[in-house]
Amino acid sequence: METAAIILAAGAGTRMKSKRPKVAHEVLGRPLVQWAVRAAEAAGADRIVTVVGHGREAVIPLVEDDTQVVVQTSQRGTADAVLAAADALADFDGAVVVLSGDSPLIRPETIREMCALREAHDAAVVVLTMDLANPFGYGRIVRDGAGEVERIVEQKDASPEEAAITECNSGFYCFDARALFEALAQVGSDNAQGEFYLTDVLAIARAAGRGVLAYKTDDAEQCLGVNSRGQLAEATRVMQRRINDAHMAAGVTMWDPATTFIGPDVDIASDVELLPAVILMGDTSIGEDSIIGPNTRLTDTRVGAGCTVDETVAVQALIDDGATCGPRAYLRPAAHLCEGAKAGTHVEIKKSTIGKGSKVPHLSYIGDTTMGAGVNIGAGSITCNYDGANKHATIIEDGVFVGSDTMLVAPVRIGEGSLIGAGSTITKDVSPGALALGRARQSEIEGWVAAHPIEKK
């Protein structure tokens, strides 16, 4: 049977105390609503509809490429939100999964199991439930004398006896599409909140003689909804543990998983070693036998095999096999360390290629530069690429040796095998094999100190 998913992402999330819509906040670099979208995709949903409302200008770009977007014009409750998707699914006759855009931890396998249970019993709805030691704030699952699900009662509408129930509604459902939309037309707002509750659909379906089932999970963490900054941090810790456990099971060593944060799209080969305080985000990949960290953050960066990346920040960079980086290095977008190259201590590289085996060991800035193989850059050297209006290129050919404290003023080409004397300012091209010096002449006045005594305080 075909499956559609409706993702509810219209709420304001006032408890977040943020100008951003709640579902746009991120867990490990991925917005909350995108976690729900990916879960639906992984569960096999054929169609996905996202219901947006509050702050939709910020939410729509997050989901429009992967889902059909509909708008809940005024937030009048969960039933009204689902009803906003009715036209989008008017031609659909299958199972409809309802997910919360602020619940990033739901497992795809749980969604599949809910759908399988509903189909096996031809039920109107399966609701995902959980037992909680402290159920305050959650809707309670009320069962009849035979143990069947009778209805869901919200916290504000619960009697003392109902409030004592510990089986709670997770907010995740799998409906028969026809039963869902027929029941939604009968939902009223006679409750403490004056809203249209999706939970009322269960009692309506039961009254119509359709099956209403509960699928109870032992993993209540996956049902966590994010309504505050504290819950956002909690969800991050849960997802951090899941991702780290999966990488360690695949052969990655982590000295301290508690201080290791890995985004959901990161790829790590076996026998990689991650030292404490490592953050890997976005489209980052690490080749086998590399050592990353400590105190390293890589975003959208590719690291080859056998690399050492120590105390480094890299964004949209490429580090080839056997290269080393750090400590305290900064690789900005389009920085490329070729095989065996080195970016050392307090080195910043931007939009530059460091050729095979070339070294920028310490205290240097390299920008808009193409560097050949076997080049050595002395300490404190800078490619002066910006004239105040435009960026200019520096080309350093193979085998060049640049002495310490050298300024290469672009545009400039340094010929193959040449040597630049320390303390030089190079403003013209240097011929291959030449020695280039660009220093001011040193002068000396004998006896000047004795003739100009300095009064000591």
134 is in an annotated binding site: no
d(CA 344, CA 130): 52
| Shared domain check, 291 and 158 | no
Q: Per-residue pLDDT tens for 158-191?
A: 999 999 999 999 999 999 999 999 999 999 887 7
Work out how many domains the chain is built from and give that number.
2
18 is in an annotated binding site: no
Q: Per-residue pLDDT tens for 111-146?
A: 999 999 999 999 999 999 999 999 998 999 999 988
Say if residue 76's pLDDT is above 90: no
Contact present, 78 and 197 (Cβ < 8 Å): yes
Q: Per-residue pLDDT tens for 208-241?
A: 999 999 999 999 999 999 999 999 999 999 999 9
Q: Provide the mean pLDDT of the chain.
A: 95
Confidence at residue 193, expressed as pLDDT on a 0 to 100 scale: 80
What's the gap between Cα 213 and its chain centre? 35
Read off the pLDDT band of 457 (50, 70, 90): low
Average pLDDT in the 301-326 region? 98
Residue 347 inside a domain? The answer is yes
| Shared domain check, 80 and 30 | yes
Task: Pick the closest to residue 176 from 1, 322, 307 (CA basis).
Answer: 1
DSSP classification of residue 315: E
363: phi then psi, degrees, rounded to nearest 5: 55, 45
| Shared domain check, 280 and 156 | no
Read off the pLDDT band of 456 (50, 70, 90): low
Q: Per-residue pLDDT tens for 15-68?
A: 999 999 999 999 999 999 999 999 999 999 999 999 999 999 999 999 999 999
| Shared domain check, 295 and 202 | no
**What are the tokens at 437?**
């010096």
3-class secondary-structure state, position 436: strand
Specify the CATH number for the domain of residue 91: 3.90.550.10
Read off the pLDDT band of 327 (50, 70, 90): very high
Q: In degrees, to the nearest 5, what angle opens at C-alpha 201 toward C-alphas 197 and 203?
A: 110
Q: In degrees, to the nearest 5, what angle opens at C-alpha 52 toward C-alphas 49 and 55?
A: 155
Distances (CA, A) of 288 to 16, 206, 274, 379, 412: 40, 56, 12, 31, 38
Q: Is 452 a catalytic residue?
A: no
Say if residue 291's pLDDT is above 80: yes
**What are the tokens at 54?**
């509050």
Distances (CA, A) of 94 to 20, 47, 97, 229, 297: 35, 11, 10, 37, 45
| Shared domain check, 302 and 198 | no
| Amino acid letter, residue 124 | A
d(CA 2, CA 44): 9
Q: In degrees, to the nearest 5, what angle opens at C-alpha 110 toward C-alphas 104 and 111?
A: 80
Strand partners, 95: 3, 176
Taking phi first (over 0 means left), then psi (-120 to 50 degrees means alpha), and beta for anything else, what does residue 38 get? Answer: alpha
| Amino acid letter, residue 18 | S
Residue 180 inside a domain? The answer is yes
Q: Per the residue annotation, which of 25, 247, 336, 362 is the catalytic one?
A: 362
Say if residue 194's pLDDT is above 70: yes
d(CA 131, CA 167): 4
Say if residue 280's pLDDT is above 90: yes
Residues 6+ apart with CB under 8 A from 331: 301, 312, 313, 314, 315, 317, 319, 325, 337, 343, 348, 349
Residue 444 inside a domain? The answer is no
154 is in an annotated binding site: yes
350 is in an annotated binding site: yes
11 is in an annotated binding site: yes
Specify the CATH number for the domain of residue 363: 2.160.10.10
Residue 163 inside a domain? The answer is yes
| Amino acid letter, residue 66 | D
Burial category of 87 from C-beta neighbours within 10 Å (exposed 0-12, middle 13-18, buried 19 and up): exposed
The whole-model pTM stands at: 0.91
Residue 204 inside a domain? The answer is yes
216 is in an annotated binding site: no
Parent domain of 387: 252-436
Q: Per-residue pLDDT tens for 93-114?
A: 999 999 999 999 999 999 999 9
72 is in an annotated binding site: yes
| Shared domain check, 323 and 192 | no
What's the gap between Cα 421 and its chain centre? 46
447 is in an annotated binding site: no
| Shared domain check, 359 and 212 | no
275 is in an annotated binding site: no
169 is in an annotated binding site: yes
Strand partners, 430: 414
